[in-house]
Chain A
Amino acid sequence: MAGEPAPSPEVNVDRRTLFARSAEAARPGAAGAAVPGLSRRRVLGLMAGIPLAGLSLAACGSAGPGSSSASTGATYWSLTGQPQEGIRQATVERFNAANPDSTIATTVFQNDAYKTKIKTALGAGEAPTIIYGWGGGGLRTYVQADQVEDLTDWFAQDPQLKDRLFASSFAAATVDQKIYAVPCEAVAPIVLFYNKALFAKVGVQPPKTWDEVLALVPAFNSQGIAPFSLGGQSRWTNMMWLEFLFDRIGGPELFESIYAGNKDAWNAPASLQALSEVQKLVKANGFIKGFSSITADSNADQALLYSDKAAMMLHGAWTYAQMKDSAPDFVAKDLGFVNFPTVTGGKGDPSNTVGNPGQYLSISAKASDTEKDVAKKFLSTTLLDTTEQKAWIDSGNIPVVNGSDSLIGDSPDAAWLQFVYQTSSQASTFVQSWDQALSPASAEVLLDNIAKLFQLSISPEQFATSMNAVLGQ
């Protein structure tokens, strides 16, 4: 009866699990302490790899800075992932062909690996000449560490250089009134998408004011259609609503005062009004039932829009291509798009928009003068030349260049591209996504509180109090 060796594995399992547990708990800090960059990135990759599977390309953090070209040329680190990687590479190759004695060597990294790698490299003084980034809070940390070149004078010497790019794209490149990065690549405003077929069925028009938004809610709900799709579990999806409401009600200066860390900035009357307006929409069942269980990574929020379950969706311009991929017929026939409605009595300019105003290239302050010259030459000549602009348009994106709409031509997505161009180029303010504009630590607190606000588990006042506590961090 008692012949089977059961107890011994039992004890082994016990011991092994205890050991594994303490090692697990110890991992993040200590691993980083020993070999900061490498281990931290590996751990990060292990832990975060699965949920971030959307960035599917394999990491290829091959070499460090291209040392061979240190004396004659510059180095440029950027990201993997098509079509962007191909467009970037083609641009650098054209520059190298035109300037054979001062070339640029590129190294590409997978997105999340890059974010860690570049910080480590900056800290170790091994940064590339040209640093790819997202501006905002991240750029500010580089500036505070004196790692990136002040480009204000360089832009002043050649006004044409600045004037040809979207004026709105410079805000996220500016820290304390000085410009530290060149805007590049494509612009991605947040847009109010709507399902034309459902609007025709209910017999209503897309909203132009916030009051119309609130009025549309019962109209759709009574027909069994959710007014708005929302991937609430991803949290930054909820944030887009606040970004717009803050701007429309309080004007861009409201978030600027938060960004600047002014005391009790979240307590401003306009801020509290915006927070309660969004709760009003939640209470009126404006968002699809169960929105807190829906994630944006699975694109389930887009699916609700094109499968006629929800009438509208506030989302980034990048979802257009994704929806076109999943539901080409819907996009061709029934997808409508407008800028966010105005709020009566609000201070914000109705042309203002929010989102990602562009990507950013900075020059390392630690690079040699020769390297800096090559980098500046690249940034002022080949970057975003007509060929590169055309490539962005063909991939369904609007480059951050004034007049790039002339290249749209007879693209099958012409209506969409024109809309994105108009929205982005005519925006008097283009507010950068808050979680990128703020420091990583306060962005995390922000997303947390936004989720609770949409859950109605905290009041606007409680939200303001917790957010005031991390102002300026």
Chain B
Amino acid sequence: MTTPAPSPSRSSSSSPAGQQSLTWFALPALIFVVIFGVVPLVGIVALSFTTWDGIGSVSANGLSNWKDVITDPGMPKALWVTFLVMALSWLVQTPMSLLIGVFLAGHQRYRALLAVIYFVPLLLSSAAIAITWKALLDPNFGLGTGLGIGLLNQDWLGKGPLALSIVIFIVAWQFVPFHSLIYQGGVRQIPASLYEAAQLDGAGRIRQFFSITLPQLKFTIITSSTLMVVGSLTFFDLIFVLTAGGPGDATRVLALDMYIRGFRGNLMGPASVIAVILVLVGLSLALLLRRLGGTNNNESMLEGA
């Protein structure tokens, strides 16, 4: 039985001529990456070894920014919050998106209508979502007062763990539709013959899900997880508008810490240090997830179609 994923024949057997033209196709993208990705990256690495208040002259100060940032008592907290947002977002979003994706790939009634409703949050900007939720969560003029349900009048954004949970909830609300879309695509790639065979062997729906759907979605799960994990490293807009990192520093993730240091405190050097750390952590996480999925998952995913 051939699975849709590992069939390395087509893309790896391209001729040298084909490869040459592919290189030319990559050039525009490469130029963009260099100008907007690599050059600024080199810039912040350089800035991280300097003192700059954003106005005056830039002066080198060696490793002192790095020492300051690494020994800053707020730093472990920011790292921990970033990790929590990443891990909890993944834990909350993956099962939900998987189930919704599988459901959407099926043929139930009203599926198309429900799909449209699920995707609404995906159409809104993060800032708009944050402003809306902030208004709904207002402890005095919010959802609880509007609906007359006292239970909903909590200090949602004013207590550390509660505020963090709210952030994770809203992030999930926003991004579950997107990941469901990815899973829906993945599920539709699974050949129907697999399910027919399983049915003949007497497997029930649940057994089919765990023995066929889930293993077949391995690469989809890795793709979706990479997006979630790396994306959650740089959550900024939503948290900035919703809590501004508060209460205290309960939701101050690294990306927000970087902004606050750089643009509020006029400390561009330490902000650049955090930016470099973010880049390094993000790249290593992406590489790690890639390794988990085997070396050539990219090619094999393309082969499914």
Contact = CB atoms under 8 A, between A and B. Distances in A.
A300 B141 contact: yes
Nearest to B188: A4
A4 B190 CA distance: 11
Contact of A28 (B134, B156, B275): B275
A28 B188 contact: no
Contact of A293 (B39, B42, B138, B272): B138
Chain A binding surface SS class? helix
B214 interface: no
A99 interface: no
Interface in B229-268: 230-231, 233-234, 236, 240-241, 243-244, 246-249, 255, 258-268
Contact of B272 (A2, A29, A304): A29
B265 to A, nearest CB: 4
Interface string A283-318: 000001111111100101001100001000000000
Given A22-B37, A440-B266, A50 B241 contact: yes
A8 B11 CA distance: 13
Contacts of B261: 444
B139 A294 contact: yes
Given A14-B227, A22-B282, A292-B155, A304 B140 contact: yes
Interface stretch (B13-21, B52-60, B113-121, B198-206): B52-60
B185 A28 contact: no
B79 interface: no
Contacts of B57: 123
B248 A2 contact: no
B247 A451 contact: yes
Interface string A438-473: 001101110010011001010000000010000000
A21 B186 contact: no
A7 B189 contact: yes
A441 B265 contact: yes
Contacts of A30: 39-44, 47
Contact of B282 (A13, A25, A32, A445): A25
B56 A123 contact: yes
A294 B257 CA distance: 21
B55 A122 contact: yes
A232 B190 CA distance: 53
A44 interface: yes
For chain B, the bracket of interface size reads: 35 or more
A449 B62 CA distance: 29
Interface residues of A, number: 70
B186 A6 contact: yes
Interface stretch (A33-41, A195-203, A366-374): A33-41
A2 B279 contact: no
A441 B266 contact: yes
A22 B54 CA distance: 21
B247 A21 contact: no
A33 B44 CA distance: 9
A43 to B, nearest CB: 8
B298 interface: yes
B44 A26 contact: yes
Given A4-B185, A293-B156, A448 B302 contact: no
Interface string B170-192: 00000000000010111011111
Given A21-B231, A28-B275, A293-B137, A10 B158 contact: no
A8 B42 CA distance: 31
B247 A28 contact: no
A25 B275 contact: yes
A127 to B, nearest CB: 12
A224 B42 CA distance: 59
26 contacts: A1-B190, A4-B188, A5-B305, A7-B189, A7-B301, A10-B185, A10-B301, A19-B37, A22-B37, A24-B236, A25-B234, A26-B41, A28-B275, A29-B43, A36-B54, A48-B263, A119-B54, A119-B55, A232-B158, A288-B140, A292-B158, A303-B141, A304-B140, A441-B267, A448-B248, A451-B246
A-B pairs, top 9 by smallest CB distance, nearest first, are A6-B185, A292-B158, A290-B139, A30-B43, A30-B40, A26-B40, A119-B55, A290-B155, A452-B248
